[in-house]
Amino acid sequence: MGILSLLDAVPRKWRTPKLLLAMFIIEIPFCIAALALFGISQPDLYRTQFWQFGSDMGWNSNPNQLIYAYANYKPINAPLPWSQFTTNFNVVIAVLAVFILLCKAIMYITGVFHPLVSMFAHSGLLAIWAVAIHNQAGPDMSDPTHPQPGAPWYITKPCKAPVRPGLIGYCKQAKAAFAVTIILTTLYFVYIVVTLITLYPDRSFRAARSTKLSDNESQAPWEMMLAPQTPGTTGGLKSPTTPRTMAFNTLSGHGKPPVRQGNKGIPLRHHIAMGEETYAGSSRR
């Protein structure tokens, strides 16, 4: 009962439905772009090439360090910007974002996309896309001689010389993917802000809820209002009226068991208990 009362106190109507619909429309192309960009880059379209080029320029570590580490029985994990985990994670969250977008559209059309649902959905999306930003722009400190304390070179540097011509297109694609990640993260944050504004009850909502609660408290239960008064509960007789008692009163008029007049006035219960033969034998004697 407490949970139902709490949910009843949460607004279910959006305060700015047109703004919400506009945000849906804005989200669609960026979700599709993220799915396309991250899907194209899987499994390793340009990640290792970027890593190797940055090593040749002295901007980050060398991918061959993984081979040397395994050869010396000292396996290490690849830095986040160059790891397969980051590539797979980006694809998974892009697919998840598109799926949740379709679910949101269906729920909005059917009228069940309440602000509380939006809060849970967009909080989760904001968290995973923030992790995606951290993975893509993470540092590479695995090589002390060539540390990379900030984001990788394809994010911080322009996609032109000295970048090799074969990597310029991939560099622009990686920049676009990182930009889409930032835009979607910002959009989900705006979703949460709009949801919080809607969840905060305004003056009209508080007045309507107060009126509803006062009406519920002043109105008695309809069962008690329609139920007849039970005789004998306020005076000396304390036995309530039951359906069986009402039947006896109707038949006999005095609350006594019905009498079978056609068989010497013996009450009906005697016939049931003793049988017709017992009564007939006793009458002959």
The helix/strand/coil state of 259 is strand
| Direct distance between the N- and C-terminal alpha carbons of the chain, in angstroms, rounded to an integer | 71
Domain identity same for 197 and 239: no
> Cα–Cα–Cα angle for 84, 87, 93, nearest 5°?
135
Instruction: Give me the pLDDT at residue 200, please.
Output: 79
Instruction: Give me the pLDDT at residue 121, please.
Output: 96
Does residue 66 lie in a domain region? yes
Does residue 103 lie in a domain region? yes
User: Which residue range is the domain that position 51 belongs to?
Assistant: 9-201
Does residue 223 lie in a domain region? no
The helix/strand/coil state of 232 is coil
pLDDT tens, position by position, 47-100: 999 999 999 999 999 999 888 888 888 878 899 999 999 999 999 999 999 999
Domain identity same for 171 and 268: no
Among the candidates 162, 180, 201, a domain finishes at: 201
Domain identity same for 134 and 39: yes
* Mean confidence (pLDDT) of the chain: 80
Residues 6+ apart with CB under 8 A from 280: none
The helix/strand/coil state of 55 is helix
Does residue 104 lie in a domain region? yes
Domain identity same for 116 and 169: yes
Domain identity same for 68 and 128: yes
Domain identity same for 101 and 161: yes
Q: What is the pLDDT along the chain (285 residues), one digit of tens a residue?
A: 455 555 555 667 888 889 999 999 999 999 999 999 999 999 999 999 999 999 999 999 999 988 888 888 887 889 999 999 999 999 999 999 999 999 999 999 998 999 999 999 999 999 999 999 999 999 999 989 999 999 999 999 999 989 999 999 999 999 999 999 999 999 999 999 999 998 877 665 555 555 554 555 555 454 455 555 555 554 444 455 566 666 656 665 554 555 555 555 555 554 444 555 444 444 444
Question: Model's pTM, two decimal places?
Answer: 0.71
Domain identity same for 277 and 144: no
**Residue 267 phi, psi (nearest 5):** -60, 155
Q: Which two tokens stand for residue 265?
A: 């006035």
CB 120 within 8 A of CB 50: no
**Beta-bridge partners for 134:** none
Instruction: Give me the pLDDT at residue 190, please.
Output: 97
The helix/strand/coil state of 87 is helix
Domain identity same for 55 and 151: yes
Does residue 216 lie in a domain region? no
Does residue 188 lie in a domain region? yes
Domain identity same for 191 and 244: no
Does residue 240 lie in a domain region? yes
Residue (of 53, 255, 251) closest to 163 by Cα position: 53
Domain identity same for 142 and 249: no
Domain identity same for 137 and 267: no
Domain identity same for 52 and 142: yes
Does residue 211 lie in a domain region? no
Number of domains in the chain: 2
Give 195: exposed, middle or buried? Use CB within 10 Å, 0-12, 13-18, 19+.
buried
The helix/strand/coil state of 186 is helix
Instruction: Give me the pLDDT at residue 70, please.
Output: 81
